[in-house]
Chains A and B, each alone.
Chain A
Amino acid sequence: NAGVTQTPKFQVLKTGQSMTLQCAQDMNHEYMSWYRQDPGMGLRLIHYSVGAGITDQGEVPNGYNVSRSTTEDFPLRLLSAAPSQTSVYFCASNEGSGNTIYFGEGSWLTVV
């Protein structure tokens, strides 16, 4: 049981490039979400999903796309990277409403 797995752990992008951060969980959790954390700040919700085929926006969704074609995977796409998207990204999952949320180890993204 690996929990929540994120790849890549580190990535450097040039402004305007696109990329996908991968997130997979092996706990059969219905709910998954993406957060970003900027230096000295708490985490902020980007997008979330309450099940396969269902996604919705969080607090800071601009510049990001998500999809949920399977229960296990919840990729986060940066459409055209900007320096303001330099951050640490955390994927999370929970079994359902009210259940404890578990986080991955993070993906460090730098946009130059």
Chain B
Amino acid sequence: DAKTTQPTSMDCAEGRAANLPCNHSTISGNEYVYWYRQIHSQGPQYIIHGLKNNETNEMASLIITEDRKSSTLILPHATLRDTAVYYCIVRKLGGQGGSEKLVFGKGTKLTVNP
């Protein structure tokens, strides 16, 4: 599985957009970029995923560069409840069941300040 690199921590003002970068320069063509977050050691919560096109849902937007070597998760209007550890994960789909695993790094600790 491709390895990802994320900043250890970031701060964001409440109401502003939070832009969380992720580097995955060794990603291969059949690997998706997934984002999860974990609040107060609760179970990881799925946010969004994409292959090569930009994606948007009710929680966030995902921007993937054209060469797919990096991506940015955007929380458009961060709230205090968005304070969490955000994990960028590259996931290979299909093939054997083991490919279904998620390989977690240490993630980015996002703190949203009032």
Inter-subunit contact A106/B43 (CB<8 Å) = yes
Q: Which of B19-27, B63-71, B101-109 contacts A (4 or more CB under 8 A)?
A: B101-109
Q: Is the Cβ of B101 less than 8 Å from the Cβ of A48? A: yes
Contacts of A94 on B, CB cut-off 8 Å?
100
A-B interface pairs (CB < 8 A), number: 66
Partner of B43, one of A58, A59, A97, A103: A103
**The one of A37, A44, A56 that contacts B98, using a Cβ cutoff of 8 Å:** A56
Q: Does B80 contact A (CB under 8 A)?
A: no
Contact A100 B46, beta carbon cutoff 8 Å: yes
| Residue count of chain B within 8 Å CB distance of chain A | 22
Flag if B104 contacts A44 (CB, 8 Å): yes
Q: How far is the CA of A33 from the CA of B45 in the complex (A)?
A: 15
User: Does A112 interact with chain B (Cβ within 8 Å)?
Assistant: no
B50 interface hit (Cβ, 8 Å): no
The docked-state distance in angstroms from the alpha carbon of A44 to that of B107 is: 13
Distance in Å: Cβ of B76 to nearest Cβ of chain A = 21
- Report the Cα distance A60→B97, complex, angstroms: 16
Majority secondary structure of chain B interface residues (helix, strand, loop or mixed): loop
CB-based contact B104/A42 at 8 Å: yes
Report how far A31 CA is from B93 CA in the complex, Å. Answer: 13
When the two chains form their complex, are residues B102 and A105 in contact, meaning their CB atoms are under 8 A apart? Answer: no
Given the known inter-chain contacts A41-B106, A43-B102, A100-B49, please indicate yes or no for A90 contacting B97, CB distance below 8 A.
Answer: no
CB contact between A58 and one of B45, B101, B106 (< 8 Å): that residue:
B101
Q: Are the C-beta atoms of B100 and A104 separated by less than 8 Å? A: no
Q: Counting CB contacts under 8 A, is A53 at the interface?
A: no
A92–B61 alpha-carbon span in the complex (Å) = 24
Given contacts A48-B101, A97-B95, 14 further A-B contacts (CB under 8 A): A35-B104, A37-B41, A40-B106, A42-B87, A42-B107, A44-B104, A50-B97, A92-B102, A94-B100, A97-B94, A101-B100, A102-B46, A103-B44, A105-B42
Closest 3 CB pairs of A and B: A42-B104, A103-B43, A50-B97
User: Footprint of B on A, CB under 8 Å?
Assistant: 4, 31, 33, 35, 37, 40-45, 48-50, 54, 56, 58-59, 88, 90, 92, 94, 97-98, 100-106
